[in-house]
Amino acid sequence: MAYIQLEPLNEGVLSRISDLLLCRWTCRHCCQKCYESSCCQSSEDEVEILGPFPAQTPPWLVASRNSDKDGDSVHTASDVPLTPRTSSPDGRRSSSDTSKSTYSLTRRVSSLDSRRPSSPLIDIKPIEFGILSAKKEPIQPSVLRRTYTPDDYFRKFEPRLYSLDSSSDDVDSLTDEEILSKYQLGMLHFSTQYDLLHNHLTVRVIEARDLPPPIAHDGSRQDMAHSNPYVKICLLPDQKNSKQTGVKRKTQKPVFEERYTFEIPFLEAQRRTLLLTVVDFDKFSRHCVIGKVSVPLCEVDLVKGGHWWKALIPSSQNEVELGELLLSLNYLPSAGRLNVDIIRAKQLLQTDVSQGSDPFVKIQLVHGLKLVKTKKTSFLRGTIDPFYNESFSFKVPQEELENASLVFTVFGHNMKSSNDFIGRIVIGQYSSGPSESNHWRRMLNTHRTAVEQWHSLRSRAECDRVSPASLEVT
């Protein structure tokens, strides 16, 4: 058997390597004893062995540990004697020393082979050897890890799950005919044109067709009666300044032929999105949204203008907002007076099919849970954007102010039957929401100064659920 000529090392290095291997393969006790012995004492010229060792001692070594423990220690000391260090004049070890060390390691490996049973076979990974210099750099086994690229990382995510409108991407890839057959909500005919001379955008709502019949409140069946549709127009992201067509009674093919203008600069108009929402009027409940059409104005020629038939798609907003109310509050501590100004309202829910609404506002003062005073504004005929500018004053001592609540209810005047409820808010001790609480707090912190704020109207059920003062009024 031929041996490869090794690089001459310090005398007895390979013998010490074999002892170290036997000690680490035997047990922890032997490792501790080996560490305390001279053969494992580190020096700057010794070999440090680092590498992956088995997590557990092999069973064939555990079985023979007790019987051969003493024999191994004696055998190790006798078979591998420590000889004085001798070197050739050129600083290299002689070939006889190398042969002796190699022969000693061969005997040690052969003795291990004689103990090990034929099966099972143990696959031992190679051990890396390194000679320590003055600056020790331990050689650690390399760990194979999968490297992730940015493409692999983001491929795990599904953007459609984080989209605000999961169906928007699908709708963009469909034609109007495919949208109509998929949702069956009908189509809307409209046109747009921008007037550069007067700096306003004109939107013309022409007609609609194939609108679906209204759905019953229980959702289990469809009513056979026709819809009462109308269209709301706004330029996103501004939904407050919207327009609204008249209601067309009992028809699935309404013809509107109404024009509306928006005072807006041309460059600003190109950044807006035209939103047309078709709504079904319901006198006895909240109006239901049938569908919507949205057109980014940057994609059309506003100066030239044009006409479009667009298929309606479902809207995430199933119900129409009830409208907004602008109020002003002012408290005079010296006089003990709480002054309330009803300034205006806008985009109120339409309560009459033929002439819009005849809205008025009822103001009720509640102290604790007791109704104290009721006042109301005049009603304005045929409008959903009324201007009132009416003032009311309530006597409220300063010590009772913290227990006071004001209930504002907007009704549609009805000569033939009871007034139609539109919306309500509560401001004061039992406010109906954070906006109302903020308005009341600002008024308390700024006496003798009027504080104005817009409020979105809420339903009767919503106010009754959060405000005890709403339950005390009609």
Of 51-65, 145-159, 235-249, which gets the smallest average pLDDT? 145-159
Q: Which of 385, 356, 379 is nearest to 245 (CA)?
A: 356
User: Is residue 163 one of the residues assigned to a domain?
Assistant: no
Q: Is residue 166 part of a domain?
A: no
Please, are residues 348 and 369 in contact by the beta-carbon 8 Å criterion?
no
Q: Are residues 343 and 259 in the same domain?
A: no
Q: Confirm whether 396 is domain-assigned.
A: yes
The pLDDT confidence band at residue 130, using thresholds 50, 70 and 90, is very low
Report whether 396 contacts 427 (CB < 8 A): no
Q: Are residues 442 and 371 in the same domain?
A: yes
Q: Is 109 domain-assigned?
A: yes
CA 358 centroid distance within chain: 43
52 and 104 belong to one structural domain? yes
Highest mean pLDDT among 131-145, 157-171, 372-386: 372-386
Tally of domains within the chain: 3
Query: What type of residue sits at position 23?
Result: C
Residues 257 and 297 in one domain: yes
Q: Are residues 333 and 466 in the same domain?
A: yes
175 part of a folded domain? no
Domain boundary (109, 131, 153) is at 131
Q: Phi, psi (5° rounding) for residue 387?
A: -115, 120
Which one, of 87, 80, 84, lies nearest residue 101 by Cα? 80
Last residue of a domain, one of 90, 112, 131: 131
pLDDT at 213: 84
Domain-embedded: residue 413: yes
Same domain, 354 and 262: no
Residues 332, 447 share a domain: yes
In the three-class reduction of DSSP (H, G, I as helix; E, B as strand; rest coil), residue 275 is classed as strand
Whether pLDDT at 250 is above 80 = yes
On whether both 302 and 339 belong to a single domain, the answer is no
Mean pLDDT within 219-240: 74
CATH number at residue 255: 2.60.40.150
Claim to verify: residue 353 and residue 465 sit in the same structural domain: yes
Q: Residues 118, 119, 120, 123: is their CA dihedral positive or negative?
A: positive
Residues facing residue 200 across a β-bridge: 195, 263
Which residue range forms the structural domain that includes residue 435?
Answer: 324-471
Q: Which of 282, 311, 340 is the last residue of a domain?
A: 311
156, part of any domain: no
Q: What is the pTM of this model?
A: 0.51
What does the angle CA 373 – CA 378 – CA 383 come to, to the nearest 5 degrees? 135
- Model pLDDT for residues 304-331, shown as the tens digit of each residue: 988 999 999 888 766 667 888 999 999 9
Q: How far is Cα 321 from Cα 214, in angstroms, rounded to an integer?
A: 19
> Are residues 328 and 307 part of one domain?
no
Average pLDDT over residues 368-392: 91
Are 70 and 206 found together in one domain? no
Pair 444, 355 in one domain:
yes
pLDDT of the residue at 375: 94
The answer as to whether 138 is a domain residue is no
Average pLDDT in the 207-230 region? 70
